[in-house]
Structure 1
Amino acid sequence: MYCPVTVDNFLDIYNDSLNKKGEELCGDQVKYLKTDKKVTIVLSDGLGSGVKASILATLTTEILITMLDADLPLEEVLKTVIVTLPICKVRKIAYSTFTIIQVNCETNHFTVINFDNPPPLYFHQGKVVKLEAKTETILERKIAIAEGYLERGDFLGAVSDGVLYAGMGVTLNFGWGWEQIADYVEGILGQRSHTARTIVREVLKKTHSLYQGEIGDDATFAGIYVRKRHPLMIFTGPPLDREQDEFYIEKLLNFKGRKVICGGTTGNIIANYLGETIEMDLSTIRKDLPPIGMLSYMDLVTEGILTISKATEYIKGCDGDLSRLRFDHNGAYLLAKEILQADSIVFMVGQSINEFYQNPLLPKNISIRRNLIEELVQFLKSKQREVTIEYC
């Protein structure tokens, strides 16, 4: 059954792990890749724990992600992994197991390919739905494949067996179990608004509790939660052609999402168009940062180069994690917060150069503003955020 995709839906992805007690490296690895057409997530569980398991799991995820991104046939991809990772002669099991989740971004159709990991966890309208999997045999290994469609509010997750068997040998039982995990996630989904991060972390928090801090096996949870998109547009720098000012101002004003202006000249152009004057909030001024401004229809107005540079420093300092962003009520902090709260970001970058900021050693067509934005965008893309730049 085809499910129409809502343009403001966002595929929110998050993963986290608990390392086995005494191990610095996790024997589970997760890698995911977002493109305009598809999302691919791979969770691999290396045999055992520590360095060897981590290397095996990393090798598995890298092979799978690389080949799947190249759109190679699934059978060829799986054969490559199976041949590369042989069977343990002693325990007669694979050196590395894996779960692959792929979502078509145009239809939200998903496919889960599972090799010796616990079954996937799929929730629709807050309730667990057991996916019907078909089994295929590839090079004498059984691969389970399930399909479906994601809608707003759905959650699809993959776990390693370290989550499934949490508490085994500690609470004198045989672990948490798939059904108990499913019940727990249903409880989370029924309580409040969510992100993939809150769901994954709540499950791992419970897992840690069941182990009573004595993590018996690497435990990993990766999932996709379908929620409303949080878009952001940042307009920085005046356009090259002044006759195009009105076009880009209207584009900003009509944008359906958060709106930010970075730059005094840019702000004044928009203020003049609106027939207003930018009011300054002097409580946000800092020794190295100008204050923010206030303007109708705008969620944030800041200075340009200095603020973008400092915001980039903040974002990299917290490794793109909003929860680790240190609070300071200044323009750079507020800009960093806007960026980290957004799922998809459009930078509208004017290329008219402010000579005050221009490095005289650089060619005239290379502005400091442009370089700063491209550096920030590169980092954000490495964190799988959807980012585009439009030069004007």
Structure 2
Amino acid sequence: MLTCEIHYAQKNKAGEEVCGDTIKYKKSELKTVVSVSDGLGSGIKASILSTLTASMSTTMVFNNIPIDEVFRSIISTLPTCKVRGISYATLATCYVDHQSGQCDIYEYDFPVVLIYRNDSIFDVEKKLLEIEGRKVYRSSFTSQPGDILFLMTDGITQAGMGTKRFPFGFGIENVKMELKNLLKHKVDLRSITQHLVRLAEALDTGTKGDDATVCAIKIREQRNLTIMVGPPEKKEHDEIVVRKLVESNGKKVICGGTTSQIVEKILGQKVEIDFSSISPISPPIGYMEGIDLVTEGIITLTQVFRYYESQTEEIGIGAQKLIDMLEEADVITFLVGRAINPAHQNPLFSHDISLKFRLIHDIGLILQKRGKIVNIEYY
């Protein structure tokens, strides 16, 4: 199963409080849709138009609306500039099927879409679609792990326009050369997007400049994490949940002493305790064959929650290792036992969270806001 790793950077036109470019994306375990739109002009008006365009396209494509209907809706909704005779927003929308790898890119007056495979430009034929008298281009190919797509607005290619060095702007060929060098030296995508935007900002010094946006989409294998927390409400469900844990794809974590005892009993294995991990704030962690991490339950999860909420920077080794796994994962599944432990009434919370499933629910919301796909199953 594939997934899409998304990074982007933006700058506002000099003197404007908001960016006239917009990026919107939606992800599930099965697909990703990313849209980048550039509103005509700059400032609030451009931002509103690009937000409307990107939001409509992302939502409709994600919901499997036929592409001609998507663009018909967008074209009929957006006004046309009477002076220039062009639409008030450009658009590029990328759809990736995580199972088949099928990638479809739709472009409407959009300046730059570049596809890289093995650090080199990967040329894909563009097919013209006439929709409501407008030209929409479609590119389709089967993506592979490692493929990278760059979507960028003309604030990048036209940066420095009117200057002595780049009278016609930085240009697409210079962008390609810059990307080739950065990819060759294995620069991470977040840094690449930031570098291109900073470069545009530097080139625009002394000019009116423009909004500028770079979005990078990397296709890679999906990373999964399954966490078993607490014993099931019914003992006859113990084996069902343990089997679901051990048969899941990706990394596996057990949270809780009672939970680890259940897994030990079902699998006939013992948890190896790492006594060097004990500290005044850290219960010990452990390891088991086939399991990547075994931690204490409620204290560890509380530290994870408080860390994400910036309530503390002091966390134990178990919480830190779990956070590292959460950050690495794309899809996170919590297998939550409903058995209630009175000891879980925890005074460390700054707001009234007294049950483990409330804690996990809140951690799940935080992870979703960070772009993770979170599943919570109760037993």
TM range (shorter): 0.7 to 0.9
- Report the CA distance shift for 1:292/1:147 in structure 2 as closer, same or farther (over 3 A): same
Q: Which residue does the alignment assign to 1:4? A: none
Q: Which residue does the alignment assign to 2:374? A: 387
Q: Which residue does the alignment assign to 1:55? A: 48
Q: Distance in 2 between matches of 1:184 and 1:246?
A: 55
SS of 1:162's equivalent in the other structure is helix
TM-score normalised to the size of structure 2? 0.85
2:218 to 218, 225, 235: 225
- Report the CA distance shift for 1:97/1:270 in structure 2 as closer, same or farther (over 3 A): same
Residues 1:240 and 2:233 aligned together: yes
Q: Which amino acid aligns with 2:91?
A: F
Superposition pairs of residues 66-215 of structure 1, within 5 angstroms: 66-170=59-163, 172-173=165-166, 174-192=168-186, 194=188, 196-211=189-204
Counting matched residue pairs gives 369
- Report the CA distance shift for 1:266/1:209 in structure 2 as closer, same or farther (over 3 A): farther
Q: Report the more deviating stretch, 116-125 or 167-176.
A: 167-176
Displacement of 1:237: 0.7
Identity of aligned residues (%): 36
SS of 1:120's equivalent in the other structure is strand
User: Which deviations, in whole Å up to 9, do the C-alpha atoms of 1:313-368 show, x marking residues without a partner?
Assistant: 433549xxxxxx96855443432232112122221212221122269xxxxxx982
Q: Distance in 2 between matches of 1:327 and 1:156?
A: 39
Q: Which residue does the alignment assign to 1:44? A: 37
Q: Distance in 2 between matches of 1:329 and 1:367?
A: 21
Q: Distance in 2 between matches of 1:355 and 1:115?
A: 59
Q: Distance in 1 between matches of 2:127 and 2:273?
A: 62
- Report the CA distance shift for 1:112/1:282 in structure 2 as closer, same or farther (over 3 A): closer
Contact 2:61/2:95 (CA < 8 Å) preserved in 1?
A: no
Q: Distance in 2 between matches of 1:308 and 1:234?
A: 11
- Report the CA distance shift for 1:146/1:99 in structure 2 as closer, same or farther (over 3 A): same
- Report the CA distance shift for 1:205/1:215 in structure 2 as closer, same or farther (over 3 A): farther
Gaps of at least 5 residues in structure 2 are 347-352
Q: Distance in 2 between matches of 1:10 and 1:103?
A: 8
SS of 2:137's equivalent in the other structure is strand
Displacement of 1:250: 5.0
Q: Distance in 1 between matches of 2:96 and 2:66?
A: 16
Q: Which residue does the alignment assign to 1:291? A: 283
User: Which deviations, in whole Å up to 9, do the C-alpha atoms of 1:250-280 show, x marking residues without a partner?
Assistant: 5444545333222232234445642345344
Contact 2:29/2:331 (CA < 8 Å) preserved in 1?
A: no
- Report the CA distance shift for 1:276/1:76 in structure 2 as closer, same or farther (over 3 A): closer
- Report the CA distance shift for 1:274/1:177 in structure 2 as closer, same or farther (over 3 A): same
- Report the CA distance shift for 1:21/1:285 in structure 2 as closer, same or farther (over 3 A): farther
Q: Which residue does the alignment assign to 1:301? A: 294
Q: Which residue does the alignment assign to 1:321? A: none
Q: Distance in 2 between matches of 1:357 and 1:49?
A: 53
Q: Distance in 1 between matches of 2:299 and 2:5?
A: 31
Q: Distance in 2 between matches of 1:74 and 1:85?
A: 16
Contact 2:34/2:95 (CA < 8 Å) preserved in 1?
A: yes
Residues 1:335 and 2:322 aligned together: yes
Contact 2:286/2:294 (CA < 8 Å) preserved in 1?
A: yes
